[in-house]
Chains A and B, each alone.
Chain A
Amino acid sequence: MSTATLHRTSLFDRHVQAGAKMVDFGGFEMPLKYAGETIEHLAVRNAVGVFDVSHMGEVFIEGKEALLALQRLVTNDAARIKDGQAMYAGLLHEGGGFVDDVIVYRFSPTRFLVCVNASNQGKDFLWMRAVVAGAGLDCVVRNESDRWSQLAIQGPKAADVVATLCGERIRDIEGYHFAAMPVLDDEDAIVARTGYTGEDGFELYVKNSVAVALWDAVLRTGAVPCGLACRDTLRLEAGMCLYGNDIDEEHSPLQANLGWIVKLDERPPFIGHAALVAEKAAGVPRLLRGLEMIDRGIARSGYEVQDAGGTTIGVVTSGTQAPHLNKAIAMAYVARDHAAIGGEVHVVIRGKPLRARVVKLPFYKRPAATA
């Protein structure tokens, strides 16, 4: 893809001025790293970092039957969360595979924000609109992705940064909750205690017009600018899936170790419900597992997983040398019969089968707050 066709966020000039290495991600020209992926990764684990995640899409669903629309669209139960609460969910097709993985923010039973992946933005919007129209539901699906910028402020000191900018009341926002409140000159911003790093953190949704001022203000607090490279290693340590790597239209949430975002009972069925019920009854054929290398080597996306006899039993979907844990970790789909936690498998690295341990996800869990 030529750079001429790539989208840019409102912060593009800031990234270039800061000397960031820019890459194509999901159709956007985004910062891969500034000072370096390891430094940035450790800044988020130990203090606080800030990410431009304005490439993420924002789709609003509003109207009398908005709640019914969400119940039709996503695997998690939008009736079970309260106003001001968020939830992680799958947007599935009829076959049970992921159209996308999303975060749903509930303002009220008649107003929801669905945060979607950049690369899936167009597809998701058309899908949601078609489903709502097909069911004849009384609500509007609006793609506002071009109007919103999003900054993720992540790390044990994230609350201090956000409190400096938005006031002490943000400390009362619980995990996976949010508040509609002013941020700088944006009267209708959203401060959410969500993230994709495994740390405490916030995602600030603001209009494009205040993005640069907010970015500058966050950097003045000492937060370290962070790129997509460390976002990927942080989420992998935290055992979180990346759409296009670990989940896609071919894999269901039951396979992806995401049964906890699937509510099959006591709610109206979502699209893909029947497929998941059938998959559960038949037995899930493969499971997403954590792998830790025993032999010296790094498992990477696409590498084959074998049993001790050399039979193919799965494939690696993400893998790296984890900067904080300082060991080679990976996620892989493994045939159910070989997916037992604690078992040993082989990852084929440059033709050599190297030993790895099947481990429970996540690899990293942040220490409980002591304050």
Chain B
Amino acid sequence: MSQTYDEEELSDNVSNTKAVFSRLYGVLKPHWKTMLAAMVSIALVAITDSFYTLIQRTIIDEAILGNNRAILSQMYIYYGIIIIAQAIFVFGFVYLVGLQGERIRYDLRKMMFYHLQKLSLSYYSKTPLGWIMSRVTSDSEKMGDLLTWGIIDVTSAAMNIITAAIFMLLIEWRLALIVIASLPIMLYIAIKFRKRIYHHYRLSRKANSLMTANMNENITGVRIVKALRREEKNLDNFKVLSTNMFKSSYRAAYLSALFMPTIQTISAFTLGFVLWSGGNMVNTSFISIGSLQAFISFIMMILWPIQDIARVYAEMQNALASSERIFSLLDTQPAISDREATISIDSMRGEVVFNHVSFHYEDDDAQVIKDLSFKIPQGQNIALVGSTGGGKTTIVNLLCRFYEPTSGEILIGGINYLDYRLEDIQSRIGVVLQTPHLFSGTVMENIRYGKLEATDEQVQEAAKLAGAHEFIMSFQKGYNQNVGEGGNLLSVGQKQLISIARALLADPDIFIMDEATSSVDTLTEALIQKGMHRLMTGRTSFIIAHRLSTIKGADQIFVIDDGRITEAGNHDALMKLKGHYYRLYTQQFRHDLESEMDPFASLELNKADGAA
């Protein structure tokens, strides 16, 4: 249903139109030369259009009625020049506007992406990914359109109307006034129409996304639909959605069909009026036949600019809302940034101390970490255990400085870590996540992510240490194998091994790992354990542990519950307590044995190997 969320976000409320305009101007400013050239080109196209009408008039009045072939030839030469000139101007504005649009959208995406890299994890945890995506993809398109075609269409339309009005005034000002008086009426009606059409168009888009979501779900859950015989009821539900889609979509089409004929009919009355007065003027020789024909052309010509202005105006509100959302994203300040004076270091080795650390999220007063204190000597391995939601992940996030303590302090090597540079901390701490995140690209690229300047040999060395080398070599393309989007061409176990290799290559001073709960086959599991062990030796490490061997092997085990350490010590000591840890451990021990000794499980494993 994320699509609905997005659609709801797309409201048209712009809180400060003036501010948005002035910032739009700022976006446009670097491109003002291109824009100006495009506007001049389109203006010239509009003006030459009117000249064409004037040439027609001369052809009728002087060449044909005056029977003057010299003037006729001359006029057609002018006509030829105008055609060529117009082609050049058309080329100019189509090219410039298109270029401009691409550039502005490029700039916007770039600006937003740069900014997003700076924002803290807290921003990402409270903003849905889909929302951010729409800002970068669709809002940048809308804002780009407004700043290019929006401006160009209005310029062109205005120039068309203005030149036509001037020429009409020059030819016969009384007739011209009749035409000019009708303009605001047509414009007003056109804008009303356009707004309605756009409104229904957007309703139909929204209905369409609801309809698609419904259909998607019905196909995904088709087995249950069949088992529960929901076909008829579901069809009825779907029909409601498709009817809504039909209504708004048809309404938009209906209004579009009515739109131009309405404007045309209004203009027809203007035209009739002009013909009546003009006809009488011709009869009294006040106006020439050619001039009257020019008036008719002008009136016909003006219809298009009116419809363009109406369209831009109707869609502008929405584009402004898009722009405002983009600006709000760009204005978001990162919650965590370097302090003014920082200490630069190249090592994070040393004691790690939590000193009465408490933490709560900005938008929630509930303490997630409560007055936590501990001291860990350099090189110790710590296992964090406890139920989900107890605060294990938050401790790790605090340590990485993805968040900062709301009170208390964290010292690394005797110094409050707020005094270090963020980049120093984060590049010296290695993290392996529970669900390893890989990027599209090759295995080589993914491991090298740990140390960009590493040679191929170094990458392979790290893969060997992590125990990933063998399966990588079994790929058809070896290290150049593509891992797919998000690494989805690899198994979970393989992804973990690669992320361990990545962390090993980075050679961090502190190592943090969130062990996976999902089961992998025994062989891979053994490799992962080995790789982890390599990473842990000689480094201070924090493992959110699920595997018994990891827990048992730790120097210290912290049982975390409700933001506190409830039990601490090594395995034997904690078992003797017969408390929380004892229960967790025996349950897990039994579970492990069951899955390990289940003859069916081993059967399945053999099958999986055979398939691979």
Same complex: no
Chain B residues near A (Cβ < 8 Å): none
